Amino acid sequence: MERTEASGFPDVPPPPATPPQASSAIELRVGKRLLWVGGAAYPLENIARVHTYMLTPRRWDATRQFLKRLGLILSVAFALTILGGVTGIAGQDTASKLVMWV
């Protein structure tokens, strides 16, 4: 299978599909190598390809990860508290050094 090159540009992708029409109008202007979208300016030399991407946050995964990490932190804090209490029973000098270290 042979590749076709369009006027010196290798592997030019096909033009993107037209985006769905929005309810409000957005002003687009091109001038002096700048793309103006409303009040924002984008230099055209930095734009390679533009497409629409819909990001849907995974809230349940984020909540589960937060709860796992919270459980780990609380477990370590609880274990260090018990360790401090056990060493406090063994000797006051050792407990004060452990509290200073933690």
Task: Give the whole-angstrom CA distance, residue 59 versus residue 65.
Answer: 10
pLDDT at 30: 86
Q: What is the pLDDT along the chain (102 residues), one digit of tens a residue?
A: 455 555 565 666 677 777 666 657 778 888 888 888 888 888 888 777 767 888 899 999 999 999 999 999 999 988 888 887 777 666 666 556 655 555
- CA 26/CA 64 separation, integer angstroms: 39
> What are the two backbone dihedrals, phi and then psi, of residue 79, each rounded to the nearest 5 degrees?
-65, -40
SS3 call for 50:
coil
